[in-house]
Chains A and B, each alone.
Chain A
Amino acid sequence: MISRRALELATAILTGGFGVAVVVQSLDNGIGWSSEGVDAGTFPFLTGIIIVAGSLYNLARGVVPAGTLASVPIAITSVELRRLAGLFVPAAIFVAVIPLLGMYIASAAYVFAVLAIPRHQSIARSLITAALTALALYVVFERMFQVSLPHGALAAVLGF
């Protein structure tokens, strides 16, 4: 269970952290005025400052419970969290194995896994859906539009 307040804080810290990174990085490019006009780092520096300031404001709003925050104390219930993880974790694993397995095998395995393991569909139907997905990707991208999707380290080892 995640409260609205915790989520607000986490997001504000996330955006603020990004802002700090932008500010620090832009200093490398120089800020201010030089012979060539406005230095390359100036604009990013200013946006970084705005991000940090805005995030601090949102952080403060998150800490002090205003009327709106109190009215929706829970942002994500545990059931919802489980559903979220059920979608996101397999998707992240799918993205992680693409360099190894290649797009086709990875996407087929991904579709099969999310359909068959939670028993949403029978093994046979899951297999068919998975195979059709990979085939459709191959036909549309490799054949029709001549876009080569990653084949993966495994395919390279096997000599494809």
Chain B
Amino acid sequence: MDNLAELFHGFTIAVTVPHLALMAVGVLLGILVGVLPGLGAPNGVSLLLPLTFGMQPVSAIILLSSMYWGALFGGSVTSILFNIPGEPSSVATTFDGYPMARDGRPTTALATAFGSAAFGALVGVILITFLASWVAQVALAFGPPEYFAVYFLAFASFVGMGGAAPMKTVVALAIGFAVAAIGIDTVSGSVRLTMGIDELVKGVNFVVAVMGLFGIGELLVAVEEEFHARAVSSRIDWREVFRAVGRLPRHSVALLRSAAIGCWMGITPGGPTAASFMSYGIARRFSRRGRYFGTGEVEGIISPETADHAAGTSALLPMLSLGIPGSATAAVMMGGLMIWGLNPGPMLFVDQKDFVWGLIASMYVGNIVAVVLVLLTVPVFAALMRIPFVVIAPLIVIICVVGAYSVSNSYLDVVMMLGFGVVGYLFKKLFYPLAPLVLAIVIGDKAEDAFRQSMLMSKGSLGIFFANKLVTCLVVAGIALLLLPLALQLFARIFRKPNSPHTTNQEKVII
């Protein structure tokens, strides 16, 4: 019950006029970046980051996390009304959301999406409320070997469950680690991997990478297909909103199943995108009306939306309690935490109670604010989509350029950002996952430090990773996840004909 007392204390921090105002601003900005193709939650949060340096950490995290919720909701709006996913994680929402809206039921589609999204987020927050402090308590006993094992497990789960080709995930991860190593080594003080460019001594900031990979990269993918925003009516019928939300409990099985999938994928860093696809796929298989999926089925909207938001929310659990972000956006937020002088991880629950519980309480309130604001502003943001893409695209380029420059007033950052843009485009095009790359850039240093400290403790013996039960379990689980794709492939070889078409489905998962 301690948790509940702490939570109420958190509410006294979160529910104040300035913080509610920050939530509203964050949600609106989030919907904006969510609606605009080419700008997403990771970029939006990185762009806002420099503006939060003067703020209290708790105010700053409320602003950034609200932006995240707004972006998650905003992505669904364009998916349903325009058949254009504003966020990668809302691709699966287009499958049934757009057909339903086209059939003349846009309000029903939107209300169903928002209602189930709010439910997913709620489950995620409840999970954080009761589980995060417990996980943090366990993690307080962690030493460097345990930490390295947890990092290893997190990275291995990307390879085993991320849905992308395993080798491509491995390459993306390793590139992230190498980028993180550029600059001054924190342990020995020597300069590493500068490739002869002196300015690289300062390292590569993750914001620069995010701007390029997600901003320019996504823009290049978007410009390829010249889409015309042909909206269905964006007027909201409020009575239908309540009726649609009232019908949601009839689909409680789908809701609960999707929330569970979402939470699982959020905590073990699979991310919201993989969660929404997985949830949609499972719903299609198990729903009684599965064969009607794709024609505007209610459960076809509920499943991806619930999982998307449950994953997005619960991705903050490992970030808070272990210092391992569960999604790309959470990674950016964690970078922010480190800049504000906080040390993400279990000590937060001891030293920074106001921060942690203020954030958790704000997640309850922020999601309610987000649902209300997104319903109120659907027509406004739908109108925004009618601005031609040729006008929006150069503006997004400028935003990314300025965003990369303002990180440390360096022109080199701008050039690197453009380079990351090309990489981001190639990777997206060829289904290399981007989230593990960003994650590795943000926590690569910490993982390396944990490894080197463990090696110092054991005088260079890898046996330290099998020294006690906990660390052995973590390492073995990690290795199992790494080998999972290989095992599945062998299994498929033995029991089925080779070259079964399942890889094409897999590739769709990480668009």
Residues on A facing B (Cβ under 8 Å): 4, 7-8, 10-11, 14-15, 18-19, 21-22, 25-26, 29, 33, 36-41, 43-44, 47-48, 50-51, 54-55, 57-58, 61, 66-68, 71, 75-76, 80, 83-84, 86-88, 90-92, 94-95, 98-99, 103, 107, 110-111, 114-115, 118, 120-121, 129, 133, 137, 141, 145, 147-150
Contacts and interface: CB of A to CB of B under 8 A. Distances in A.
Prevailing SS type, chain B contact patch: helix
Interface in B414-461: 414-415, 418, 422-423, 426-427, 429-430, 432, 448, 451-452, 455-456, 460
A18 B427 CA distance: 15
B504 A54 contact: no
Contact of A51 (B175, B188, B411): B175
A120 B394 CA distance: 13
B110 interface: no
B177 A47 contact: yes
Prevailing SS type, chain A contact patch: helix
B178 A22 contact: yes
Interface string B496-507: 000101011001
Given A14-B426, A84-B223, A26 B190 contact: no
Given A40-B185, A91-B397, A147 B406 contact: yes
Given A22-B193, A67-B501, 10 more contacts: A44-B193, A54-B174, A58-B165, A68-B504, A84-B220, A94-B401, A120-B391, A121-B391, A133-B398, A149-B406
A137 B340 CA distance: 25
Chain B contact-residue range equals 35 or more
Max count, chain B CB within 10 A of own CB: residue among A22, A111, A137: A22
Interface of B: 50-51, 165, 167-168, 170-171, 174-175, 177-178, 181, 185, 187-188, 190, 192-195, 216, 219-220, 223-226, 388, 390-391, 393-395, 397-398, 401-402, 405-406, 409, 411, 414-415, 418, 422-423, 426-427, 429-430, 432, 448, 451-452, 455-456, 460, 499, 501, 503-504, 507
A51 B171 contact: yes
Contacts of B429: 7, 75-76
